[in-house]
Structure 1
Amino acid sequence: MRDVVLYLHVVAGAAGLLLGPAWLLARQRGRPGRGPAAGYQVAVGVVAVTAGLLAVTDPSLVWLLPVAVGTEVLAVTGALARRRRWSGWRSWQPHLLGGSYIALVTGVLIAETGNPGFWLLPALIGQLPIAVAKHRLAGVPAEPLAQGA
């Protein structure tokens, strides 16, 4: 059973790593990117659930629980920030969604290398694309609020 959960975890993580940039590119091209966005949210959700399952079945992985919950919270909150037009969403959304993506990258690097230095490296490197996204969003005119959003 653990192997199945681990397989789902890896496949969902890989999907999230592919769908995150696809969503970003769609948005940069002026498209809503609903498919990649939904896929990214599902992938991150599956990663969080499977990480939680792995953590409760192996006491050495209990540290995954807060990371899994935090990653999911970042992804969902980032998606909702724009949709709900929260005050300051243009500043917060890149940090929230970028943080969820950085968590996925960090997970891969830690799993593959075991090097704790990779806890810091993705966060540092991720600041540049987050800053670029914030700059672009600052220049985007306000969109009308969608019906039912």
Structure 2
Amino acid sequence: MQAVHVIAAEAAAVVISDRGPVFRAALVVHILAGLTSVVSGALAAASRKQGGRHPAAGTVYFWGLGAVFATATVMASMRWSRDAHLFAIAAIAYTLAIGGRIARRRRPQNWAVWHAAGMGGSYIALLTGFYVDNGSQLPVWDRLPHLAYWVLPAAVGVPLIVLGLVRFGAPRLKPPRPGARRTGAPPAPQE
């Protein structure tokens, strides 16, 4: 039987099975990268979408999420039967972030929509992975059914992303102004 280490937090104790020094080192980096990603992702989302804070925080978020994915890969490879789903969540999160970053750099048509959906979706996946792995050990969250850990981040995050896209004028998501001509529609008759 393997040893079990307990890390005492202020409000709760989180139980972590011991897989040796490589696992522990990966876990420490994973936690630090996850915290960095949560904070920098929130800063990027809340800042004005212009040069300065938004791209700087977004870059920190992207590389922090890359470290989360790399360390999740290491830890899942050591406990595959227990952590395969967490590896999948981390892979989805990082893939979405890569897509969001590519959209920003290459700027295809509607790139802002692709960028926001990719980066916002990756943030939702990051939080989902955290809650799926730790929700049962967190105050208040420990009272929720396990399905809530999978669903709540998206239930809150997706409407916020759509609201942001509509608010900031994303094409095809913003409701047309009354009497406005739609792209591809025949011109309005002139009087």
TM-score range, shorter chain: 0.7 to 0.9
Aligned with 2:51: secondary structure? coil
Hey, what does 1:121 align to over in structure 2?
Answer: 152
The partner residue of 1:62 within 76, 84, 91 is 84
1:51 corresponding residue in structure 2: 72
Looking at structure 2, the residues matched to 111 and 63 of structure 1 have their Cα atoms a distance apart, in angstroms, of 10
Q: How far did residue 37 of structure 1 move?
A: 1.6
The reply on whether 1:111 has 2:133 as its aligned counterpart is yes
TM normalised by structure 1 equals 0.83
Point out which structure has higher relative CO (alpha carbons under 8 A, 6+ apart).
Answer: 1
Query: Which position in structure 1 is the counterpart of 2:119?
Result: 97
TM superposition shift of 1:95: 1.6
Residue in 1 aligned with 2:108? 86
CA-CA distance at 1:137 after TM superposition: 4.3
**Number of the residue aligned with 2:61:** 40
| Structure 2 CA distance for partners of 1:137 and 1:51, relative to 1, 3 Å | farther
Work out the percentage of aligned pairs sharing the same amino acid. 29
Q: Are positions 1:74 and 2:96 aligned together?
A: yes
Name stretches of at least 5 consecutive residues in structure 1 with no aligned partner: 140-149
Counterpart pick for 1:31 among 47, 51, 66: 51
Worse-matched range after superposition: 15-24 or 83-92 = 83-92
Counterpart contact for 1:110–1:119, Cα < 8 Å: yes
Letter in 2 for 1:34: P
User: Structure 2: how far apart are the matches of 1:68 and 1:104?
Assistant: 7
- In 2: Cα distance, 1:75 partner to 1:88 partner: 17
Higher strand share: 2
Aligned to 1:138: 170
Give the partner amino acid of 1:52: T
8 A contact 2:26–2:74 mirrored in 1 = yes
Q: SS where residue 75 of structure 2 aligns?
A: helix
Task: Report the TM-score when normalising by structure 2.
Answer: 0.66
Aligned residues: 138
User: Greater CA radius of gyration, 1 or 2?
Assistant: 2
Match of 1:20 in 2: 41
Structure 2: which 5+ runs fail to align?
A: 1-21, 137-145, 172-191
Q: Which amino acid aligns with 1:98?
A: G
